[in-house]
């Protein structure tokens, strides 16, 4: 069944929305559960297709899974693993599943994981992952599209990353947990999701220090020092940034709950400079609002704590109707402006020059038929449709389902006129009031 989102734009979003668990964290926690010969329970697990795929990957390895979607928890029994092979059929569906390489190698001293292949937003090489494991003592072969890693002994090492790759940092962290001696990762990624993974590992008995800085030290422990745990995933900062954008873009006012404001400092600062209003209500709640037209500023995507590439498309949506001209420089991925053609079809004035996008603010956007090309671009088009005049249809929404839990339902809680339909159904978006369901 082909599903689409039908949106009637022009309604200011108002109300409250609660943020779910971080997709980019929980996927790695699931992989890390493979290290423990026992039962691990993870809370605040969002209902996402990416989570479903990662659970299938570790189930294929022999872990037993109990995913309670109502409770938003998953129980993982990795007491016995029956395979060290993560197949292409699953890994190819989601690049993040490649992180099982480090966990399998650490526990079994052997792993066979499919190369993840291409990615819509650009090349994501795995050579940093491989070099890191080789430094720890792995003998690596690449055969028939699989990375095969084996070692008689895993030994701590000094590892320098040419770029602060999140995936490589995570794979090396996992691989080094059971190594003999200490491992030092220099120029490590500093994202909050890295800190969450380190906290998870330390809670189960690992010895990881420095997460959140450019240098992470992992002191190896014995297998019997690791123990089952219960753990709660951090909130999703990108989801929070998305709803902040949607409320501001529609000139509404809303409260975002279950958020760690410190994880969004760079985006919050940019929004304030553009003219939005943001107020901290308590340690995990913020109020955002916007009454007037925003002012254009420039954005440059950078590794954390810089401006996140995952919110670049959201920033672009805001710039389309802001005063003046704004420039976005995408410094991390070569194909991350895939939302530009559709935004221009809505009436935006965007000129792309390689990794620069020059956005001249227009008075308004107009609704039309849109196509989600990837996760973040797709979500940005939904936000653009919410702020536009008239009706829009967003196609290929399976991309959005990878990373946003109940996206249209949460937007409806804020008073948005949006519904999901299969292509044979007719939408009903003509009536409704704040917080009313349009299904």
How does pLDDT run across 375-418, given as a tens digit for each residue? 999 999 999 999 999 999 999 999 999 999 999 999 999 999 99
Q: What is the pLDDT of residue 425?
A: 62
**Can you list the domains of the chain with their CATH numbers?**
3-20+235-422 (3.65.10.10), 23-232 (3.65.10.10)
* Distance of alpha carbon 109 from alpha carbon 34, whole angstroms: 13
Q: Per-residue pLDDT tens for 153-184? A: 999 999 999 999 999 999 999 999 999 999 99
* Distance of alpha carbon 138 from alpha carbon 278, whole angstroms: 49
Query: CB-based contacts of 384: which residues, under 8 Å, 6+ apart?
Result: 249, 317, 320, 339, 342, 343, 346, 365, 370, 392
Question: Residue 375: beta bridge partners?
Answer: none
Please answer whether residues 175 and 154 qualify as being in contact, where contact means their C-beta atoms are separated by less than 8 angstroms: yes
119 counts as catalytic = yes
Q: Per-residue pLDDT tens for 218-264? A: 999 999 999 999 999 999 999 999 999 999 999 999 999 999 999 99
| Number of Cβ within a 10 Å radius of residue 318 | 27
Q: What is the pLDDT of residue 424?
A: 62
Q: Which of 119, 142, 262, 272 is catalytic?
A: 119
Q: 39-43 and 230-232 as β-strands: parallel, antiparallel, unpaired?
A: parallel
* Distance of alpha carbon 392 from alpha carbon 377, whole angstroms: 15
| Token pair listed for 105 | 């190698």
* Distance of alpha carbon 152 from alpha carbon 122, whole angstroms: 36
| Phi-psi label, residue 109: left if phi above 0, alpha if psi -120 to 50, beta otherwise | left
Name the pLDDT band for 428 (thresholds 50, 70, 90): low
């Amino acid at each position: 069944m082909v599903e689409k989102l039908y949106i009637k734009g022009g309604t200011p979003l108002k109300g409250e929305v609660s943020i779910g668990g971080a997709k980019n964290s929980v996927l790695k926690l699931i992989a890390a559960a493979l290290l423990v010969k026992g039962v691990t329970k993870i809370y605040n697990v969002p209902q996402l297709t990416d989570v479903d795929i990662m659970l299938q990957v570790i189930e294929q390895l022999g872990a037993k899974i109990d995913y309670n979607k109502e409770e938003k928890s998953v129980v993982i029994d990795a007491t016995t693993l029956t395979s060290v092979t993560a197949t292409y059929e699953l890994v190819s569906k989601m690049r993040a599943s490649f992180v099982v390489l480090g966990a399998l190698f650490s526990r079994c001293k052997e792993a066979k994981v499919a190369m993840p292949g291409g990615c819509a937003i650009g090349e994501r090489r795995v050579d940093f992952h491989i070099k890191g494991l080789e430094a720890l003592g792995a003998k690596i072969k690449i055969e028939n599209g699989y990375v095969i890693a084996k070692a008689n002994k895993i030994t701590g090492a000094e590892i320098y990353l040419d770029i602060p790759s999140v995936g490589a940092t995570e794979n090396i962290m996992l691989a080094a947990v059971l190594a003999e001696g200490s491992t030092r990762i220099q120029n490590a990624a500093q994202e909050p999701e890295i800190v969450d993974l380190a906290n998870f590992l330390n809670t189960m008995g690992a010895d990881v220090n420095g997460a959140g800085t450019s240098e992470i030290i992992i002191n190896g422990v014995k297998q019997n020092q690791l123990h089952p745990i219960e753990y709660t995933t951090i909130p999703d900062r990108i989801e929070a940034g998305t709803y902040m954008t949607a409320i501001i873009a529609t000139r509404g006012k809303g409260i975002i709950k279950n958020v760690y404001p410190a994880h969004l400092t760079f985006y919050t600062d940019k929004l304030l400079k553009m003219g939005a209003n943001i107020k901290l209500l308590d340690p995990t709640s913020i109020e955002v609002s916007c009454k007037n037209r925003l002012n254009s500023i420039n954005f440059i995507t950078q590794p954390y704590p810089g401006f996140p590439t995952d919110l670049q498309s959201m920033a672009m949506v805001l710039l389309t109707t802001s005063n003046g001209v704004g420039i976005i420089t995408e410094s991390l991925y070569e194909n991350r402006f895939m939302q530009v053609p559709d935004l221009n079809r809505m009436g935006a004035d965007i000129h792309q020059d390689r990794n620069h996008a020059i956005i001249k603010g227009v008075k308004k956007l107009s609704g039309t038929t849109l196509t989600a090309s990837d996760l973040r671009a797709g979500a940005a088009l939904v936000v653009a449709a919410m702020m536009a005049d008239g009706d829009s249809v967003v196609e290929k929404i399976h991309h959005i389902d990878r990373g946003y839990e109940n996206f249209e339902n949460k937007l409806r809680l804020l008073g948005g006129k949006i519904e999901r339909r299969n292509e044979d159904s007719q939408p009903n978006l003509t009536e409704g009031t704040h917080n009313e369901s349009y299904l």
